[in-house]
Structure 1
Amino acid sequence: MNAEIIAVGTELLLGQIANTNAQYLSSELAQLGINVFYHTAVGDNSSRLKDVIKGAQQRSNLIIFTGGLGPTKDDLTKETVASVLSVELEHDQKALNQIEQYFQRTNRHMTENNKKQALVLKGATVFPNDNGMAPGIAYKNKDCLYLLFPGPPSELKLMFDKYGRSFLLEQLETKQFMESRVLRFFGIGESQLETEIEDLIDSQKNPTIAPLAGEGEVTLRLTAKDNSLDRVTEMLNKVEEEIQRRVGTFFYGYGTTSLHSELFKKLQEKKLTISSAESLTGGSFANELTSFNGASLVYQGSIVCYQNEVKEKLLNVSPQVIKEHGAVSFECAKQMAEQVRQTLNSDIGVSFTGVAGPAEQEGKPVGTVFIGISIKNSKTEVYTLKLSGSRNGIRNRAVKYANFYLLKLLS
């Protein structure tokens, strides 16, 4: 079954709301083994909606509509679908009773146009709306199945969960399971990662492998489909094992996680505390780590030390080090990490110093970054980076690199 999702509403095209319904439905359909090949958004215009429907009929055998089932004149999804299919509309008595009861219950006057919400395609399967008024509709015409859902996400999600999913499962001749697994990598570019697993991508069939570049990160989405859920898991495990063997050094987590989320969990797991000395990053590391509930259990504090005087007086960085090597140096980053750990009495101290731009500093080019990591009873590590990009881009990537290095050291 190949599906297409058509979102109806001019507000979508104006950017007033995001099309979260399509995202939700795509995720749910994937779990049922149903392919979603197209997303379309169209305004409240009958002529354009007809064109979209006719195009969808040529390439999809499951067409799902969201929105346009309300009481006003610009809610025209049902009317347009009925026109294209040459099907009559009729009132669904249960839906009409539910709408009337709602107005009685809330002691409000029901206008005539509200009855429009109870209209359904003649001969259709009707999904009750347990969180609103307009019911959902399922209608089979020739070899194509049409599903119409209300636009408000709270109504659509409940309706699909209670009625839509089981209805679709009944329609599937061969029930399949589809599962995706997202692997997250840092410190390796998309082109390099793709080169390392190029033969796997070239030969992919099932599971499929889809690389996606993010902000300084790369993700791989593995997707497998089979009649057996156990077999799906087995296939995903096998291809992931080979990927990890080749580029596992750069792997840090699954799904929608982030570097700072993984670091936070690792610190909690090991019952370690951390503090930061931030010159280059201006408190960005602290801001990320303290965004989690319970951050006080792992985070001691930060000293934002942009000026050399602050480094010397608050962090006790040696003036001689700054004089001989500069504030942007291996030696300064090392002392900053060690001193903030001791000063704030934490298990770990991390430091940031570097040149974010727009001009060079101390004769060092923009993008020069030093990250120091001091772990109690361990040798202090200092990492030297040459980053490119905007001022904020350099700062943000420096924080990500620190999170990644800390994860590797703590693992």
Structure 2
Amino acid sequence: MRAEIVSVGTELLLGQIVNTNAQYLSRGLAELGIDVYYQTVVGDNMDRLLETIRLARTRADLLVFTGGLGPTMDDLTRDAVAAYLGRGLTVHEPTMKKLEDMFSSRGGAWIESNRRQALLVEGATPLRNATGLAIGNALTADGTHYVLLPGPPREMKPMFDNEASEWLRGLLGPSAVLHSVMMRFAGIGESALEDSLIDLIREQTDPTIAPYAKEGEVIIRVSTKAADAGEAARKLEPTLAEIRRRTERYLYAEEDIPVEEAVLRLLVGHGRTLALAESCTGGMAAEMITALPGSSEAFLGGVVSYTNGVKRGILGVPEALLEGAGAAGAVSAETAAAMAEGVREAAGADFGVSVTGVAGPSESEGKPVGLVYLGLAERGRPTRTEKLQLSGDREGIRIRASKRLYYMLWLALTGRQ
């Protein structure tokens, strides 16, 4: 089955909200074994909606709409589908009662336009809205399937997961569904990783290999269609094994988690603790790990040492390293090492990791934008440093430096450094 996702709302075209629904639906449909070939965004306009439906029907078996099911006159999705199919609209009485009861309990005056949220395209299966008011629709006409979902993600997601997916499974019957393994890499760029796997990518048939990049990390999705998890594992394993063999130093997980989560799991599993000292990243690395549940089991704390005074006074970086004739400067391997050692000792942690550099937009100490030094102090072992020359804007440099810091720690925790 081929699908097209149609997101309805002028606010999407104006950039007032981000279209997260299309991403969520693409993943969900793929898991059902339904291929999404197109995503379309159309405004709240009847003529353009009708034209979108006409075009989508020429290239998809399934049209999944989000948005346009609300109470106002510019909520046109159900009206457009009904008009295109030459069908009427009927009232879904349970939804109508839900609306009336809600207004009655709140003591508000009934607004007739709310009736629109209880309308179904004639002949449609109602899709229950557990978290909102507007009823969803699912129907088949002339060999094409239509699913109409609300726009707010808090309503759309549970309706798709619990109502629409069940309806679609009924259409599909027993069939192969998409099974994927997300392989996550750090410490290597997208082009370098792709080059190491280029023959596998060029010759792929089944499984398929799809690389894509995030700031500071690279992801490879390896996918196959199979009737069950056992069959999928048998089909995927030879390809996964070959990728592992070629990329062992950079492959930190075979599930969709960021590198800082992989590090946190190792720290907790080994009973080790971490403290951070950050300059150019301004606390970003600490935010990454504290955003994870359970981080308090391993992360003791951090210092944002943005000035030389804080580097000296709190982390104990020697004055001679920071200022004066012949000083290495705040952006140097020596300062990174002293920061890592200082924060480890201050916190009493097993690991102290530091980052200092020039995030931009201009040079500092005569050193170029993107020059970054990392330090890693480990209890009972010599302190290590790493020099990076990163590209991109200020935000990108901060993200990549933070991710590289965690990759450096991952190497240490896995004995690869």
Q: Output the TM-score relative to the length of structure 2.
A: 0.87
Partner of 2:376: 373
Unaligned runs of 5+ in 2: none
Q: 1:73 to 1:410 in 2, by over 3 A?
A: same
Partner of 1:55: 55
Determine the C-alpha separation between the residues in 2 that align with 1:166 and 1:221.
26
Q: Indicate the SS of the match to 1:377.
A: coil
Determine the C-alpha separation between the residues in 1 that align with 2:359 and 2:2.
49
Partner of 1:16: 16
Instruction: Tell me how far 1:324 sits from its aligned partner.
Output: 5.2
Partner of 1:6: 6
Q: 1:140 to 1:333 in 2, by over 3 A?
A: closer
Partner of 2:210: 210
Determine the C-alpha separation between the residues in 2 that align with 1:362 and 1:91.
71
Partner of 1:341: 344
Amino acid at match of 1:226: A
Determine the C-alpha separation between the residues in 1 that align with 2:256 and 2:98.
40
Partner of 2:162: 162
Partner of 1:252: 252
Determine the C-alpha separation between the residues in 2 that align with 1:363 and 1:131.
57
Matched, 1:127 2:122: no
Is 1:2–1:35's contact at 8 Å kept on the other side of the alignment?
yes
Is 1:177–1:229's contact at 8 Å kept on the other side of the alignment?
no
Amino acid at match of 1:241: A
Instruction: Tell me how far 1:93 sits from its aligned partner.
Output: 4.1
Deviations 1:367-398 (A, max 9, x none): 33322211111222222223333344434322
Instruction: Tell me how far 1:269 sits from its aligned partner.
Output: 2.1
Determine the C-alpha separation between the residues in 2 that align with 1:368 and 1:186.
19
Instruction: Tell me how far 1:295 sits from its aligned partner.
Output: 4.3
Partner of 1:410: 413
Q: Indicate the SS of the match to 1:249.
A: coil
Partner of 1:37: 37
Aligned positions, number: 411
Is 2:377–2:383's contact at 8 Å kept on the other side of the alignment?
yes
Amino acid at match of 1:402: L
Moved over 6 A (4+): none
Is 2:9–2:68's contact at 8 Å kept on the other side of the alignment?
yes
Instruction: Tell me how far 1:303 sits from its aligned partner.
Output: 4.3
Where do residues 300-379 of structure 1 align in structure 2 (5 Å cutoff)?
300-306=300-306, 311-312=311-312, 314-318=314-318, 326-327=328-329, 328-357=331-360, 364-379=367-382
Instruction: Tell me how far 1:359 sits from its aligned partner.
Output: 5.7
Instruction: Tell me how far 1:408 sits from its aligned partner.
Output: 1.0
Instruction: Tell me how far 1:30 sits from its aligned partner.
Output: 1.4
Determine the C-alpha separation between the residues in 2 that align with 1:402 and 1:128.
47
Determine the C-alpha separation between the residues in 1 that align with 2:233 and 2:373.
42
Instruction: Tell me how far 1:291 sits from its aligned partner.
Output: 3.9
Amino acid at match of 1:403: Y
Amino acid at match of 2:155: E
Matched, 1:399 2:384: no
Determine the C-alpha separation between the residues in 2 that align with 1:288 and 1:175.
40
Instruction: Tell me how far 1:60 sits from its aligned partner.
Output: 0.4
Where do residues 81-92 of structure 1 align in structure 2 (5 Å cutoff)?
81-92=81-92
Determine the C-alpha separation between the residues in 1 that align with 2:99 and 2:301.
56
Instruction: Tell me how far 1:292 sits from its aligned partner.
Output: 4.1
Q: 1:52 to 1:380 in 2, by over 3 A?
A: same
Is 2:316–2:342's contact at 8 Å kept on the other side of the alignment?
yes
Is 2:275–2:347's contact at 8 Å kept on the other side of the alignment?
yes
Is 1:124–1:138's contact at 8 Å kept on the other side of the alignment?
yes
Determine the C-alpha separation between the residues in 1 that align with 2:239 and 2:186.
19
Determine the C-alpha separation between the residues in 2 that align with 1:282 and 1:157.
35
Name which one, 1 or 2, has greater alpha-carbon Rg.
1
Deviations 1:186-215 (A, max 9, x none): 221211111111111112222221111221
Identical positions, percent: 43
Deviations 1:6-33 (A, max 9, x none): 1222222223333333233222221111
User: Which moved further from structure 2: 257-266 or 32-41?
Assistant: 257-266
User: Which moved further from structure 2: 26-35 or 63-72?
Assistant: 63-72
Deviations 1:243-289 (A, max 9, x none): 11111211223454222232233222222222234344444433433
Q: Indicate the SS of the match to 1:68.
A: coil
Matched, 1:198 2:198: yes
Partner of 1:390: 393
Q: 1:50 to 1:308 in 2, by over 3 A?
A: closer
Q: 1:34 to 1:394 in 2, by over 3 A?
A: closer
Q: Indicate the SS of the match to 2:248.
A: helix
Determine the C-alpha separation between the residues in 2 that align with 1:306 and 1:120.
59
Is 2:182–2:220's contact at 8 Å kept on the other side of the alignment?
yes
Partner of 2:180: 180
Amino acid at match of 1:383: E
Determine the C-alpha separation between the residues in 1 that align with 2:101 and 2:136.
18
Determine the C-alpha separation between the residues in 2 that align with 1:188 and 1:141.
50
Instruction: Tell me how far 1:79 sits from its aligned partner.
Output: 1.9
Amino acid at match of 1:77: T
Partner of 1:234: 234
